[in-house]
């Protein structure tokens, strides 16, 4: 409870001043900063007392205070207070901050220990605007995994800010940020077309802070909240009295944020502010906001991979490794034609990556390896099915286009066993797109999974080619196969099987194969659309095949049961609708959707979720 003083506190304060001299970078008037893949690490950009500054296409990382101050008088139990925003706009005018990314990178405050019973905090704001700042636009930025995100007005005293702090905040992404999005004092702030998304384990405190004399005008913002978080949480009053909200959507449903707040609090806020925004560009419909912002906000960079050494890297994994953990920058890795004999891994902490084949023909750029489930590992044991994957993609917001992924293991090389699982690609990320790709293998070619049994993950495979023998499209994830070519290779034994879904019973959607063509080299009547994989005791497979051409290789009863443990296919969620070709039929062993059911089994219904994910490629015709 005692304010720190004495030699140790003096040393801390001196060290903080010393750090300040090294990390603060002052931006002069009439300056435009444009990054081309640049990362600003540990620095505090000071836009102070200047006019006409533009900051674009930079990734700001970890402006960390090495010597934060303990203040026992801050709040009821004290707090750690840190210096250094990523960007401090202080008594400046005509400032535009556009298409940047902000992240705490590999040093988030959530990993810090407790001292004096409070979380040790080394980060201040991501982007703060204070002390008479005026006429600022904050557009198309991405703020991720940060606590105190954006402060507008630094004090309840009116000395600096009355009549100032006129700020527009539009088309920004706030992803797993906890508070101040923004918190406002005095300012006239127009907040529109922003996308707020929170992970399941997010500790969201609030989004919009209504401070003294603040005049927030919020329109057409989209909020994707984690389970248990309500719309009433989104607004918090800090001596403010009014906020205007309209056109907002929470988890896919229109919500009056102000009404939700007032219903949950004893002191209501007014919906009347003393201004109406006039000076702004096009405003998008709220439902369009998630995809627009998710794909276009943030800084962008590109990396090239070539085998001849002329690119940024000579291996794909080296390019992936160069991207920082908790990345917030859109990164395109362009891969020159060739065959890359390597195993790829994109960890969950590296979202916003696009892999693209340089020739825009999948057959020209091949990523291949020959691991299988029985491959030995150092120290004993084997790789297992998951470990056999040529490529494992665990990050969300991932795209791969014009690439071939192959597992080249030859089952004939291991005749002593019939367990020849050899995965080409395993996925666990959410909002993943594979377009114009090829997936080559035999047993277990494409493993579509989720991070955990309780977590959903959505993937879209379009204009692609997928081949295999046994259970070669399998897992518990949610996936749409749209306009794909699927080839069932012949095999011995009980016949080839295209799918082995392990959809959790709590998940409404598993695999949807639509507008596609299935072919086979198997003899007539010997191949199967799939069987249910009881990967867990709560699995209840869901597969729909609709509007798809089917070959005569299919058995008259094209669904098989799982044998051990026994799981009859009739006990799960298998269905067809409006298929065609010599393998299409309607009989007692081929459940069909009704027209009403089919209307609920579309690419959009499988993928949209609470965050309104509707990839453009579902709407734009084949390229």
Q: Which residues are catalytic?
A: 180
Kindly give the pairing relationship between strand 31-34 and strand 51-56: parallel
- Return d(Cα 465, Cα 486) in angstroms, integer: 6
The DSSP annotation for 460-476 comes to: EEES-EEEESEEEEEES
Q: Residue 30 class from Cβ within 10 Å (0-12 exposed, 13-18 middle, 19+ buried)?
A: exposed
What does the H/E/C string look like for 51-80? EEEEEECCEEECCECCCCEEECCCCCCCEE
Question: Do residues 30 and 8 lie in contact, with contact meaning Cβ atoms separated by under 8 Å?
Answer: no
At 434, list the tokens: 């594979």
Burial 213-238 (b: 16+ CB within 10 A, else e): bbbbbbbbbbbbbbeebebbbbbbbe
DSSP helix/strand/coil, 14: helix
| Residue 301 to residue 311: CA distance in whole angstroms | 14
Those residues whose C-beta lies under 8 Å from the C-beta of residue 514, and which sit 6 or more positions away, are 480, 481, 482, 544, 545, 546, 547, 548, 602, 603
* Nearby residues of 467 by Cβ (< 8 Å), 6 or more positions away: 439, 440, 441, 445, 486, 487, 488, 489
* Distance, CA of 8 to chain centre: 43
Answer yes or no: are the C-beta atoms of 549 and 514 closer than 8 Å.
no
Burial 391-418 (b: 16+ CB within 10 A, else e): bbbbbbbbbbbbbbbbbbbebeebeeee
* Calpha distance 326→348 (Å, rounded): 9
- φ and ψ at residue 142, rounded to 5 degrees: -120, 120
Reading the block at residue 425, the tokens are 């690609």
Structure token pair of residue 211: 């401070």
Alpha-carbon gap, residue 241 to 528, rounded angstroms: 64
Q: Tokens at residue 76, please?
A: 């009821």
Residue whose structure tokens are 């709407």: 619
Angle at 343 between CA 342 and CA 344, to 5 degrees: 115
Which residue shows structure tokens 């969201």?
204
The 10 Å Cβ neighbour count of residue 352 is 25
Cis peptide before 565 (omega within 30 of 0): yes
**What's the rounded Cα separation, in Å, for the pair 286 and 220?**
5
Give residue 607's Cα distance to chain centre.
Answer: 13
Residues 562/534, Cβ–Cβ less than 8 Å: yes
The answer to whether the bond into 182 is cis (omega within 30° of 0) is yes
User: At 291, phi and psi to the nearest 5?
Assistant: -70, -40
Q: What is the dihedral of CA 7, 9, 10, 14, to 10 degrees?
A: 140
Pairing of strands 79-81, 39-41: unpaired
């Amino acid at each position: 409870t005692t304010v720190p003083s004495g030699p140790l506190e003096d040393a801390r304060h001196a060290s903080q001043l010393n750090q300040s001299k090294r990390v603060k970078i002052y931006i002069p008037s009439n300056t435009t900063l444009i990054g081309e893949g640049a990362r600003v690490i540990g620095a505090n950009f000071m836009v102070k007392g200047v006019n006409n500054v533009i900051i674009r296409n930079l990734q700001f990382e970890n402006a960390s205070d090495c010597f934060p101050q303990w203040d026992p008088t801050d709040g009821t139990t004290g707090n750690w207070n840190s210096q250094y925003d990523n960007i401090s706009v202080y008594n400046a005018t005509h400032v535009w901050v556009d298409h940047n990314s902000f992240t705490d990178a590999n040093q988030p405050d959530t990993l810090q220990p407790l001292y004096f019973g409070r979380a040790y905090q080394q980060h201040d704001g991501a982007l703060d605007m204070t002390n008479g700042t005026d006429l600022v636009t904050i557009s198309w930025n991405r703020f991720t995994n940060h606590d105190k995100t954006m402060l507008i007005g630094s004090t309840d005293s009116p000395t600096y800010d009355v009549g100032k702090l006129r700020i527009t905040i539009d088309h920004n992404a706030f992803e797993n940020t906890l508070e101040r999005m923004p918190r406002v004092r005095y300012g006239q702030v127009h907040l529109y077309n922003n996308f707020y998304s929170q992970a399941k384990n997010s500790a969201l405190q609030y989004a919009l802070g209504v401070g003294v004399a603040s005049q927030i005008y919020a329109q057409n913002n989209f909020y994707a909240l984690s389970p248990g978080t309500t719309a009433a949480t989104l607004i918090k009053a800090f001596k403010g009295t009014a906020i205007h909200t309209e056109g907002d959507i929470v988890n896919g449903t229109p919500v009056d944020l102000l009404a939700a707040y007032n219903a949950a609090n004893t002191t209501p806020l007014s919906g009347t502010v003393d201004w109406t925004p006039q000076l702004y560009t096009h405003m998008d419909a709220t439902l369009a906001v998630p995809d627009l912002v998710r794909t276009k906000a943030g800084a962008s960079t590109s990396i090239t991979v070539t085998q001849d050494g002329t690119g940024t890297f000579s291996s794909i994994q080296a390019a992936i490794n160069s991207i920082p953990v908790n990345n917030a920058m859109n990164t395109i890795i362009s891969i020159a034609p060739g065959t890359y004999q390597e195993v790829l891994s994109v960890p969950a902490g590296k979202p916003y990556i696009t892999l693209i084949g340089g020739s825009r023909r999948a057959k020209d750029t091949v990523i291949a390896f020959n691991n299988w489930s029985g491959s030995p590992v150092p120290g004993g044991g084997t790789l297992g099915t998951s470990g056999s994957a040529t490529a494992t993609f665990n990050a969300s917001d991932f795209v791969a286009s014009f690439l071939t992924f192959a597992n080249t293991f030859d089952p004939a090389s291991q005749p002593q066993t019939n367990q020849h699982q050899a995965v080409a690609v395993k996925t666990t990320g959410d909002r993943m797109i594979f377009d114009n790709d090829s997936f080559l293998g035999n047993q277990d070619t494409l493993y579509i999974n989720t991070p955990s049994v309780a977590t959903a993950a959505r993937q879209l495979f379009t204009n692609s080619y997928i081949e295999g023998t046994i259970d070669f499209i399998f897992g518990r994830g949610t996936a749409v196969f749209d306009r794909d070519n699927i080839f069932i290779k012949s095999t011995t034994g009980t016949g080839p099987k295209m799918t082995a879904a392990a959809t959790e019973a709590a998940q409404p959607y598993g695999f949807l194969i639509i507008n596609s063509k299935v072919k086979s080299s198997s003899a007539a009547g010997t191949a199967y659309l799939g069987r249910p994989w009881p990967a867990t005791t709560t699995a209840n497979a869901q597969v729909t095949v609709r509007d798809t051409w089917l070959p005569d290789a299919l058995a008259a009863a094209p669904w098989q049961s799982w044998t051990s443990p026994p799981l009859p296919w009739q006990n799960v969620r298998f269905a067809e609708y409006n298929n065609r070709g010599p393998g299409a039929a309607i009989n007692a062993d081929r459940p069909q959707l009704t027209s009403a059911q089919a209307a609920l089994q579309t690419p959009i219904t499988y993928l949209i979720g609470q965050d309104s994910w509707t990839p453009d490629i579902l709407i734009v015709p084949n390229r």
